Amino acid sequence: QNLISKGHELANHSYSHPHLTSFKVNQLHNNLMNINRAFIYDQLNKTDSLFFNKFGQHLKPYWRAPFGEYNDQILMWAAEIGYKHIGWSAYCDTRDWVADRDSELYLTGEEIFQHLLDLESKGKLKGAVILMHLHTDRPVDKPYKILPKLIQILHERGYKIVPVSTLLTSSISA
């Protein structure tokens, strides 16, 4: 409720966070066997219905496919029921979802912070969407804790953090 009252745009991410394509197996975005129009409709509508029942309003008409797995057909099915897909910008996956410190993909909170500031210094954050999660399986080094410092620095450098709808309807992303 607090996020809603502060004007944040809450959007859809699916009901059960399923893999939608074969990307994990073969780096292709072919639909998995059970992924069809009815499945996509169900995932998005069920989540919106639960949200509506709890908060008395619908989710914003945006969604992000779990794991970033989608193709034109999946996007079309979601669009048929009013959803526009919003992905993250190039180089803006913070990989905060990687909990295994031994993984080559793992970045500490400080490394994520530095990576984002490096992107900013190269002019690659203007209009960007950054993938970052408030939930983490990491027992320590929770990357979201860099947000206050990062937001302060970005504000000092002239950035405004805006809702997706503003980003989509303005020249910010240009």
From residue 70, alpha-carbon distances to 7, 21, 50 in Å are: 28, 6, 23
Residues ≥6 apart with Cβ < 8 Å to 89 = 124, 127, 128, 129, 130
pLDDT at 88: 97
- Helix 37-55 / helix 72-80 crossing angle, nearest 10 deg: 40
As a whole number, mean pLDDT of residues 141-157 equals: 96
**Whole-angstrom Cα distance, residue 85 to residue 113?**
26
Specify the 3-state DSSP secondary structure of 93: strand
pLDDT at 171: 58
Q: Contact 35/20 with Cβ under 8 angstroms?
A: yes
Query: Cβ–Cβ contacts within 10 Å for residue 66, how many?
Result: 16
Question: Tens digits of per-residue pLDDT, 27-55?
Answer: 999 999 999 999 999 999 999 999 999 99
pLDDT at 141: 93
Residue the block writes with tokens 């669009």: 79
Query: pLDDT-derived band of residue 174, with 50, 70 and 90 as boundaries?
Result: very low
Question: Tens digits of per-residue pLDDT, 52-86?
Answer: 999 999 999 999 999 999 999 999 999 999 999 99
pLDDT at 123: 95
Structure pTM?
0.90
Q: Is the dihedral of CA 66, 43, 138, 94 positive or negative?
A: positive
pLDDT at 7: 85
pLDDT at 172: 53
Specify the 3-state DSSP secondary structure of 105: coil
pLDDT at 134: 85
* Nearest to 134, CA basis, from 23, 19, 13: 13
